[in-house]
Amino acid sequence: MNATPAPPRPVDLSAPLFGLDRRGLAWVEETLAGLTREQKVGQLLCLYLRGDDMARFTSDLDRLGVAPGAVMMLPRSPAAAARDVAALQEWSRIPLLVAGNLESGAVNFLTGVEAFANPMQVAAAGDEAAVDALADHCIRVARSLGMNWAFAPVVDVAVNPANPITNTRSFGADHELVARLGSHYVSRLERAGLMTSPKHFPGDGVDDRDQHLVTSSNDLDVDEWTRTFGAVYAAVIAAGARSIMVGHIRQRALSKSVRPDFSDADVRPGSLAAELIGDVLRGRLGFEGLVVSDNTAMAGFTTAGRRDRTLPEMVAAGVDVVLGNVDVAADFAALVQAVDILTDDRLDEAVRRVLATKASLGLHLSPFGDAFGEPAFDHPDDLEARRVLARRSITVTKDAANLLPLRAAERRRVLVVVVGDEPTFYDPSGPFAPHFVAGLRARGCEVEVRRSPLAQSPSAEVDAFDLCIYFANVRFVGNSNSLRVAWAPWQGPDAPRHPSSFPTVLVSIADPYLLQDMAMVRTALNGYTPTSATVDAALEVLFGEIEPRGVSPVDPFVGHWDAAL
């Protein structure tokens, strides 16, 4: 049994969320009235901006008769990004929404840059000033490129440390902290004219699977969901979020609370669940803005049914903008032709909301709105702000071995074992181990570097070194349901086997949960974001040059009492 499609809900264009004057209201209605069904469907599409030839990109769309309402930025240089956005806005008859994953800065879609700070690093600093630093950086990046839509913040609560994709993208395990920092980020960007999209409703971070790879579930009961994730979404909606991103994540308890006739087999992911979008998000939480899906090429969506049916079913269920595609022509045709599923009334409702959102950004007056087009990418405050935030957030999770602060005169011969430090889709920056090693050498250490996996234990050479540092940059990847450390076969000879006789330190600049696999290490630091600034701050803490100030937003011991020893 599939959920009954939500009936069209009148869009209140006079709502404060849109803030439209008479000119804006008239533009929405006149534009809508002049569109064919095909053109209306185009307004629902947010296409990935692939390739670097915009003339070819737009000519291909012209050939298909597809005029999208939005695009999402994929990796390119800052100069190319600004150039391509300008070209697309000039081409498009109706101004485009231009989106990017502004979760931690621009590292996900601009080449040659580092992250500013992951949300968990912001949370380790713990206050609104840290949020402002990240938010202001993202605003400057967006303005320099002509972007108007931030697919951020991630407001998933890190309930399950084994979740392979939320990790440091989350503000942490405390839903009140997530609500406070997430809503502040939303308010800061929205007041600057940059639309936000808190994600991933009904909430990631509970399952130990990644919705990129499988339809995942948020299995909290109704009361617990309402107390945690529900409170978070209420906060970001109250802060003025103009859009919400819905994930391919089931919430069985909520679905059945609205539809008690549902069997387990009837429960669908949030992006296809009319009861979650209509009854919970719009009804209980009162959200009036734009609902955008997560990437519909994810397995979490593609496995939910035949694509030529699930795409129109998703819009019928309440999604206004469809992110991503498998085949642009086929996806477009599926939405145009499915008149039995995607009614004209529901299509008009979605397009009216898309157009009202564009007008709320001032796009009906200028394709760059009221606040965009400032050439301010390399802002002079950014480097210092990143450095200050990194120094405020470094967390000493334990120093039971009393190794800190390090003194090069006593620990001169250092073996550094590098774990991870490989580029990922979400963060291709780095490597950062060379910067860490350079910092050790600048402080008078003699350093030898080896990369895990190793054929033998570092402890076998205990007499050759005074200290072993595991430098770990283990990042969420989007192509695995596990983030656990994998040592070399056979039986992990490169694991820290003899920390009692061979002083050992863990410095993790990304994943905060590594002590579950390295519980025997008795001195450990977490940094939460792989950047040069984080490495510098970690070195300063290691050598006692600054005091550690960060507070872990999650349990770094993952519930293992022995990891805290």
The residues carrying an active-site annotation are 294
Roughly what angle, to the nearest 10 degrees, separates helices 175-191 and 231-238?
20
Output DSSP code: residue 96: P
Whether 105 and 137 have beta carbons less than 8 Å apart is answered as yes
Sheet of 467-473, strand order: 395-399, 523-526, 504-508, 467-473, 413-420, 446-451
- Stretch (H or E) spanning 532: helix 532-542
Whether 249 and 218 have beta carbons less than 8 Å apart is answered as yes
- Stretch (H or E) spanning 415: strand 413-420
Pick left, alpha or beta for residue 430 (phi over 0 → left; psi -120 to 50 → alpha; otherwise beta): left
Roughly what angle, to the nearest 10 degrees, separates helices 532-542 and 380-393?
40
Query: HEC profile for 367-382?
Result: CCCCCCCCCCCCCHHH
Whether 504 and 496 have beta carbons less than 8 Å apart is answered as yes
| Residue 396 bridge partners (DSSP) | 525
Helical segments of 325-428, H only: 328-337, 344-360, 380-393
CA nearest to 9, candidates 355, 329, 286 = 286
| Residue 450 bridge partners (DSSP) | 417
Place of tokens 């806005």: 89
DSSP string, 458-490: GGGGGGG-SEEEEEEE----SS-S------PTT
Using alpha carbons only, give the angle 365, 369, 374 rounded to the nearest 5 degrees.
Answer: 135
Hey, how many other C-beta atoms are within 10 angstroms of the C-beta on 23?
10
Whether 100 and 143 have beta carbons less than 8 Å apart is answered as no
CB neighbour list of residue 58: distance below 8 Å, 6 or more residues apart: 87, 88, 91
Is beta strand 45-49 parallel, antiparallel or unpaired with respect to 395-399?
Answer: unpaired
